[in-house]
Structure 1
């Protein structure tokens, strides 16, 4: 009997970045489901069963932190990623109680470590 692979939901509007994150996570044994925007069909349901959410901060329409704040409790662990790491971004994610923020470009190992830290801190 095999152990089910953990699901990572990816919320990223940049196609190249989304695909790169998918490939990395699959290489390390995760299942992935990807979405380009917070309004994509199936996102909320997927996030509800995910081991972790990896979400871009800046998205067209609803931002990653604004989307995360709408999720019912218990919320999944989340790692936010951004190309614009500044005081406002840190304040936005801090208000919703999230500590994991990676600045693009980031190393694959840094993302994997952030996912594990987020998962540990939520359990």
Structure 2
């Protein structure tokens, strides 16, 4: 039987946080693919268009906002997450075209709500 769950891609360098996000999204009914860096995500050869992205702002190499800026239009909606919230972080997310930013730690419900808001504003497949 074909899996018809919506795909959410997580790019988070902290392995524990990445696993926690995958578990949360999986039990919430989503399929997930997770990567430790923007570069690892760029090398994936998966033809599916994600329903939403969850991007850490501070990543090794290219940042979450830099990754999002490089994506081809139409881009999937994105939720950015950070442990270093501040004006520079908010400016980077906004400049990249992001609307949703959550500060770590955050509640599971807050992430799911942010995904819903991002998808409503965006144009998922």
Please tell me the TM-score bracket, short chain as reference.
over 0.9
Distance 1:90 1:111 in 2: 17
Any idea what SS the aligned residue of 1:5 has? coil
Shift of 1:97: 2.1
Distance change >3 Å, CA 47–CA 96, structure 1 → 2: farther
> In structure 2, how many angstroms separate the alpha carbons of the residues matched to 1:13 and 1:3?
27
TM-score by length of 2: 0.91
Q: How many matched pairs?
A: 121
The match for 1:55 is 55
1:39 corresponds in structure 2 to: 39
Counterparts of 1:47 and 1:55, CA distance in 2: 19
Q: Deviations over 1:35-62 (max 9, x none)?
A: 00011120xx559610000000000010
Which residues of structure 2 form unaligned runs of 5+? none
TM-score, normalized by length of structure 1?
A: 0.93
Distance in 1, matches of 2:98 and 2:46, equals 20
Runs of 4+ in 1 over 6 A off after TM superposition: none
Unaligned runs of 5+ in 1: none
Compared CA separation, residues 47 and 25, structure 1 to 2 (3 A): farther
Residue 24 of structure 1: how far off its partner (Å)? 0.3
